[in-house]
Amino acid sequence: MTSSFLSIRNLKKSYGEVVAVDDVSLEIPRGEFLTFLGPSGSGKSTTLYAVAGFDEITSGDILLEDRSILGVPPNRRNIGMVFQRYTLFPHLSVAENVAFPLRVRGQDRTTVKKRVDEMLSLVRLSNFADRMPAQLSGGQQQRVALARALAYDPPVLLMDEPLSALDKKLRDEIQIEIRRIHQETGVTILYVTHDQEEALRLSDRIAVFNHGRIEQIGTGEDLYTKPATRFVAEFIGDSNFLDVASVADQSNGRACATLPDGTVLDGLSTHHVTRHSGRFELMVRPQWLAVAKEGSDGIRITVKDVTYLGDSSSALLETGWGQAIWLKGPAATLRGLTAGQTIMVGWDFAKSELFEI
């Protein structure tokens, strides 16, 4: 195995009978922004806390520059962390908060002062040095926490849903700040979130967690265009999963599927299909669907409802076998649709993935 900067090998963590993290392995190069994305309880935070070192792990290993850090207590790991909740020391001013890690490392006054100034200007809070945490907004508190976590130049920065307590607008602002700070400092960041949009915006790569395992790891584009599992397809972006009656003619990663109403679709993608029989589902993104002419390839559906959403509109459709699916498109193209109407919809079948169920 090529040695990377930070590597997590076969990490397992269980609480009694409950397995929180099940055999997770990751290789992270220096300077990468890697996001752990997944629903709550999927093991993403537990993995992050294992790197921080607060809980003993059940088995596996974590190496930083080829050295295991399992035996190193959290205060000696030299790792930075920004927590989900506000963790500024309430009795210390902003500057004293940032200075704290430097003071416990026994650095002298002038070095500390210089570094604190640098860090506060990095997070653009130089004017707030003497404020107390209670006098700051939530966004400012998290920026100070970021400055504090970076003050001692940690090789790795852990961020556990740091923006989840903030409102949408502030979140967008700070995401931009975090990107800038990542680029300026070049620090390796492990970032936990359950917000796919946040993950797509920030990360170099995303690891999608589910039930204690990593379902897929890759760039945002990889995950969206080539989802490895049904879970990933569903979690990243919106998806419809059409029932499939039978699959035939599997060759060269392509197949032909028959839908329950007898419609036959050809040229479907079968990257993740390993067997010839059994039950299948067909993934179709709502954006791919478009109204098609009578007689062209596609499926016949009944329009149930059309909702106007500003730039776009979405339509709730029902297939011939009673399955509800969504269509999303520019408002202008959906203007003619009315509830009760029966129409044809089509899409580029080559994009559509078959999944086993």
Partner 1 sequence: MLLNYNQLGRLKYVLLGITGVICLFLLLPVIFIILLSFGSSQWMIFPPPGWTLRWYVELFADPRWFEAAFTSFKLGLMVTVLSVILGFFASYALIRGRFAGRGFLRALFMTPMVMPVVVVAVALYAMFLRVGLSGTWLGFVIAHTILAFPFAVIAISNSLERFDKAIEDAAILCGASHLEAIWRITLPSIRLGLLSAALFSFLASWDEVVVAIFMASPTLQTLPVRIWGALRQDLTPVIAAASSLLVILTLVLMTIAASLQKVLNR
Q: Which residues bind partner 1 (CB under 8 A)?
A: 52, 54, 74-81, 83-91, 100-101, 104-105, 134, 145, 148-149, 152
Query: Would you say 39 or 90 has its CB closer to partner 1?
Result: 90
Q: How far is the CB of 74 from partner 1 (least distance, A)?
A: 5
Q: Per 3-state DSSP, what percentage of the chain is helix, strand, and coil (rounded to 5)?
A: 30, 35, 35
Residue type, 219: T
Q: How far is the CB of 169 from partner 1 (least distance, A)?
A: 25
Query: Would you say 148 or 171 has its CB closer to partner 1?
Result: 148
Query: Would you say 145 or 327 has its CB closer to partner 1?
Result: 145
Closest CA to 214 of 74, 11, 357, 49: 11
Query: Would you say 76 or 180 has its CB closer to partner 1?
Result: 76
CB 42 within 8 A of CB 209: yes
Query: Would you say 107 or 287 has its CB closer to partner 1?
Result: 107
Q: How far is the CB of 167 from partner 1 (least distance, A)?
A: 21
Q: How far is the CB of 48 from partner 1 (least distance, A)?
A: 12
Query: Would you say 146 or 301 has its CB closer to partner 1?
Result: 146
Sign (positive or negative) of CA dihedral 41, 44, 48, 53: positive
Q: How far is the CB of 65 from partner 1 (least distance, A)?
A: 19
Alpha-carbon Rg for the chain in angstroms: 25
The number of residues making up the chain comes to 357
Q: How far is the CB of 143 from partner 1 (least distance, A)?
A: 15
Token code pair at residue 251: 């060759």
Query: Would you say 132 or 256 has its CB closer to partner 1?
Result: 132
CB 323 within 8 A of CB 242: yes
Residue partners of 176: CB distance under 8 A and separation at least 6: none
Query: Would you say 81 or 301 has its CB closer to partner 1?
Result: 81
DSSP line for 159-189:
EESTTTTS-HHHHHHHHHHHHHHHHHH--EE
DSSP line for 83-137:
-SS----TTS-HHHHHHHHHHHTT--HHHHHHHHHHHHHHTT-GGGTT--GGGS-
CB 23 within 8 A of CB 11: yes
Q: How far is the CB of 234 from partner 1 (least distance, A)?
A: 31
What angle separates helix 94-104 from helix 138-150, to the nearest 10 degrees? Answer: 20
Torsion of CA 50, 218, 9, 235, to 10 degrees: 50
Q: How far is the CB of 69 from partner 1 (least distance, A)?
A: 13
Query: Would you say 134 or 264 has its CB closer to partner 1?
Result: 134
Round to whole Å and give the CA distance between 110 and 254. Answer: 67
Q: How far is the CB of 319 from partner 1 (least distance, A)?
A: 48
- Enumerate helices (H) and strands (E) in the chain, giving the number of each: 9, 21
